[in-house]
Amino acid sequence: MQTFKLNNGVEIPVLGFGVFQIPQNQTKKAVLDALTAGYRHIDTAQSYMNEAEVGEALSATEVPREDIFLTTKIWLSNYGYKATTKSVEASLAKLQTEYLDLVLLHQPYSDVFGSFKALADLQKSGKIRAIGVSNFNSERLADVVAFQEAKVQVNQIEINPFHQREEDLANAKSRGNVLLEAWAPFAEGKNGIFTNEVLTKIGDKYGKSAAQVILRWNFERGIVSLAKSVKPERMAQNIDIFDFALTDEDKAQIATLETNDSQFFDHNTPESVDMFVNFLKERDV
């Protein structure tokens, strides 16, 4: 698996296997299948409620821990310096590991600065190799970069052909070369993305699927993609993107798919804040 280098020198695999929305009783097998397929980057979160099952897979696999890049994310109920520190210890226990390769603040609300300082101190202690944020727009990313001593290594945001985030990419590069990770690179199948005429026509030239074209497109932009599947054959297909390259014409065609809109919801509205407040009331993480 090829890697990108983060701004602190840590190597991160360019493709990750995400476990969002995979049921607990399927997570262990899915992670083991992903590792067998060749994935070496596993992305989970406290709010996914399956860290323990990911940990079971990591304990069962023959792949050495040092060959696996493991990410989790801090949920809002664990924001604040002390709560974040305590929650990382809980995640380490669930994941059955002594260190985490990357820990992100999952949402851009509440005590972001206190939580980020906790991650920075845990990074200094060696329990976390890289730190970052998730779902932060350009302004919020600039704020953290400007007013925190520790570097931000990663911002994980929605990126797909319908929401391409070119301005966010340029901003991240300008803020100390923060690397972007794409969640929902396939837009969870919305708008017929897997049969999209532009993407399938490009794929046909190379004997590749629309999904592979999307993953290659992100790779060539310097973006890590996090894809999810519980089907081993699809897992193997999703990492088979290193034997072709997109032309400038291909990329220009993909650019025409831009809608400049989230396929899910805009994190940067008062209504989104209200939604997450309700999430906190509904779930105990």
Q: What is the mean pLDDT of residues 24-48?
A: 97
Domain layout of the chain by residue ranges = 3-282
Give the model confidence (pLDDT) of 147-191 as tens digits.
999 999 999 999 999 999 999 999 999 999 999 999 999 999 999
In the residue annotation, 109 being an active-site residue is answered as: no
Residue 225 sits at φ, ψ, to 5 deg, of -105, 140
Q: What is the mean pLDDT of residues 117-146?
A: 97
For 121: left if phi > 0, alpha if psi spans -120 to 50, otherwise beta; the answer is alpha
Q: Which fold has domain 3-282?
A: TIM Barrel (3.20.20)
* Structure confidence at residue 10 as a pLDDT band (50, 70, 90): very high
- The active-site residue out of 39, 48, 81, 206 is 48
Question: Do 62 and 70 contact (CB within 8 A), yes or no?
Answer: no
Residue 55, classed as helix, strand or coil, is helix
| Sign of torsion over alpha carbons 222, 12, 6, 145 | positive
Give the CA angle between residues 164, 101, 106 to the nearest 5°.
50
